[in-house]
Amino acid sequence: MRESTMPLRDFTVPPVVTATPSGGLADAVFDHALDDPDRVVFGRKQDGVWADVTSGQFRDEVLALAKGLLAQGIRFGDRVAVMARTRYEWTLFDFALWSVGAQPVPVYPTSSADQVWWTLYDAGVTGCVVENEDQAMTVGSVVDRLPRLARLWQLDAGALAELTASGAQVAESVVHRHRRAVTPDSVATVIYTSGTTGRPKGCVLTHANFMYETDTMVARWEPVFRSRPDDEPSTLLFLPLAHVFGRMVEVAAVRARVKLGHQAVLAADQLLPDLAAFRPTFVLAVPYVFEKVFAAARRTAEAEGRSGPFERAVETAVRYAEAREQKHFGTGPGPSAAVRVQHQVFERLVYGKVREALGGRVRHAMSGGSAMSRQLGLFLEGAGITVFEGYGLTESCAAATANPPGATKYGTVGLPIPGTRVHIAADGEVWLHGAHVFAGYLNDPRATAEVLRDGWLATGDLGRLDADGYLTITGRKKEILVTSNGKSVSPAALEERVRTHPLVSQCIVLGNDRPYIAALVTLDPEGVAHWLSMRGRAAPAAAELAMDAELNAEVRRAVVAANTLVSQAESIRAFRVLAQPFTEEHGLLTPSLKLKRRAIERGFAAEVAALYGR
C-alpha cells in the first residue's frame, strides 16, 4: 500500500446526509408504523423462542409505556436511569422516554453501589429502571443519598404491565404533544464515561447528534447490511446498551428498519447458539468477539488433529486478503493463481465453518471499542467476512472514523465518516469536528472546556493520518509511559500483540519512572484448558499454573513477537504471568473492559516490585 513520507495533518470527508431540521428520535417509530405497520422490525426472544415484532406492534408498546411513564410522574426533561443487560425492554424504554421528551441515563448492570450512586446523583435522575432484585437492592442501598429519585421499576417484577396499566386512561394525544415538543437540540441521553482516571463524566448527547451519526452510518454502509441482495437486513445486538456503541446500533436499526434482536450474554456458550438461531445478515461487535470466534476455530482444528491445515488456511486467507487490498490501492496485481486455488480449497474445509459460527449469513461486520489486529482482520476478510474497523468515543456519539465499503485498510480505523474532519495536532493528538460531537459534560464546565475547543473535540488519543486519509490510533496521551531513562513508550501496540497469543487474556505494560519496560499477563481459561488437554495434563492450581515453566515459555514467545514491533529501548524486558484475571468486580476493569492502570498497579504492587528486582 502507498505510504506517505509526508503524513497528512488534516482530512475531511464530505457529508452524505443533511441534519434533520425538526423532531426527535421517537418520531421514526411512529412514522414507520404509519407507513408499513406489518414490517418485522424486531426479533424478541421469549421462553427460548424468537418471535417477530412488527413496526405497528412496537409503536403500540412504546405508546402504552410512554402513557404509563406520564401517569407515574415522568415529565419532559426528566432523566431516568436504565440499569439492565441488553434486552428488548431497554429499547422499549429508550423510545418511550424519548416519546415524552425524557432523557434515559444508561447504567451498566455490573456497576458497584458507589458507581450507581454517582451516576444517579450526578444526573439527578427522578426514576430508575432495573432488571432484577439484585440491581434493585444495589439502588436501594444508596437511595438515601438520592433525594430526587422518586420511582423505581423492576423489569422482572412486572414493571411493563404496571406502567401500561397506569397509563390506560392517559390520552394518546398527551404523548404526541410531548413528542412534538422535542427538537433536534433537545438532550437525548447522558452516557457516562468509563472512569479510567477518576469519576465518570456524563456526556450530554442530543437527538441531533444521534440522528446525524446514525443516518450517516446507514447512508454510507447500508449496502453491506445484507449478505445477498434479496435479504432483509438484520442484526443481533449483543453489545451493552449502556455503551454508546450499542445505543448507536439500536437507534440506527430502528431508523433504517433493520430487524434487531437482543442478546444479553456475551459468553460464547450463549451467544453462538443465538447467532445460529437468529442468523443475522451483519454484526457489529468489539474485537473480543472476533478473537473468540477465531480462537474457537483454532482449538477445534487442533483437537481434531488438523492444526497444520488450519494454520495453512490462516496463512492463505491473509495472503489472499492482503493481495486484494494491494490491488485496490494500486500497489499489486491481486491474488496469484496459486493463492486463488489454495483459497478455494480452504473455503470448503475451513472458511465456511468460521462463517457458520456467526450464523452463516454474515459477510460484513463492523468492529469498534478497541483495536483489532491487522492479521485477524485480514484472516476474516480471506474467510469471507469483511470487518470494517472504526474509531470513536462516547463524546463523538460512537463512530468518528470507519473503513468504507470496498476500500478497507486493515490495521487502520479508516477514513472520517462523512461530514467529519480529523485533525492531528502538533503533539499527535487526534481532534474531531462534526455534527455528531457531543454538547459537553453534565455539571462539569471545566472538563468540557478541556476537550471542546471552538467546536473541535480533543480526544486524548494519539494517531496519524496516511496519504489517503486513513487514521491509525497509536496510543493514548495519558497512557504514554516515560521510563527513568527518559524513553517515551506507547503501551497499546505491545499489549495488543501479546494478547493475540491463544493462552493470553490480558496484558498491561508497565515502566513509568522505571528503568525498563515490563508486563503483567493474565491467562485465557479456555485457551489454557485446551493447551493442557492437548498435552494430556491435568489442570494444576492457578498459582502453580502461573509459575509453570512450559506455559511461561509459551507466553515468552508472545512477548518476543511483540518486541519485534519496537526498538530495544521500548521492548518488554520482563514479564509475569498472574494467577488471577483483571476483573470489573475487583475494580481493575471498566464496564467496557478497559484496563484501570493505576488500580492494577496498586493491586499487584508486590508483583510489579518483583519485576524490577525489589
The sign of the dihedral angle between the CA atoms of 50, 56, 57, 63 is positive
Single-letter amino acid code for the residue at 72: Q
Q: Return the percentage of the chain with pLDDT > 90, whole number.
A: 80
Of 255, 112, 226, whose CA–CA distance to 586 is shortest? 112
Q: Say yes or no to pLDDT of 374 above 90.
A: yes
The whole-number pLDDT of residue 195 equals 67
Domain ranges of the chain: 10-14+283-476, 27-182+232-280, 480-611
Single-letter amino acid code for the residue at 531: W
Could you identify the residue written with the cell 457531543?
Answer: 438
The whole-number pLDDT of residue 495 equals 93
Contacts 24+ apart (CB under 8 A), 153-158: 153/127, 153/128, 153/129, 154/129, 154/130, 155/84, 155/87, 155/89, 155/129, 155/130, 155/131, 156/131, 156/132, 157/133
**What tens digit of pLDDT does each residue of 293-306 get?**
898 899 989 999 99
Q: What torsion, rounded to 10 degrees, do the Cα atoms 173, 177, 183, 188 define?
A: -70
Q: Say yes or no to pLDDT of 361 above 60.
A: yes
The whole-number pLDDT of residue 4 equals 45
How far apart CA 419 and CA 50 sit, in angstroms, is: 38
pLDDT greater at residue 430 or residue 198: 430
Which residues are 190's β-sheet partners? 204
The whole-number pLDDT of residue 212 equals 98
Q: Kindly indicate the confidence band of residue 488, based on its pLDDT and cuts at 50, 70 and 90.
A: confident
| Residue 8 grid coordinates | 497528512
Of the candidate CATH numbers 3.30.300.30, 2.40.50.140, 2.30.110.10, 3.40.30.10, the domain formed by 480-611 belongs to: 3.30.300.30
Question: Do residues 42 and 86 lie in contact, with contact meaning Cβ atoms separated by under 8 Å?
Answer: no
Q: Say yes or no to pLDDT of 482 above 50.
A: yes
- The CATH fold assigned to 10-14+283-476 is Luciferase; domain 3 (2.30.38)
Q: Say yes or no to pLDDT of 333 above 50.
A: yes
**What tens digit of pLDDT does each residue of 124-143 get?**
999 999 999 999 999 999 99
**What tens digit of pLDDT does each residue of 188-242 get?**
999 998 766 668 899 999 999 999 999 999 999 998 898 777 889 999 999 999 9
**What does CATH list as the number for 27-182+232-280?**
3.40.50.12780
Mean pLDDT to the nearest integer, 47-64: 96
Q: What is the CA radius of gyration of the chain?
A: 25
**What tens digit of pLDDT does each residue of 448-464 get?**
999 999 999 999 999 99
**What tens digit of pLDDT does each residue of 65-99 get?**
999 999 999 999 999 999 999 999 999 999 999 99
| Residue 137 grid coordinates | 437492592
**What tens digit of pLDDT does each residue of 263-314 get?**
998 777 788 889 989 999 999 998 888 988 898 899 989 999 999 999 999 9
Residue 336 CB partners (closer than 8 Å, separation 6+): 323
Residue 549: helix, strand or coil by DSSP?
Answer: helix
The whole-number pLDDT of residue 197 equals 60
Q: Return the percentage of the chain with pLDDT > 70, whole number.
A: 98
Question: Do residues 515 and 464 lie in contact, with contact meaning Cβ atoms separated by under 8 Å?
Answer: no
Could you give the strand order of the β-sheet that contains 127-130, starting from the edge strand earlier in sequence? 103-107, 79-83, 127-130, 151-154
The whole-number pLDDT of residue 84 equals 97
Mean pLDDT to the nearest integer, 405-415: 95
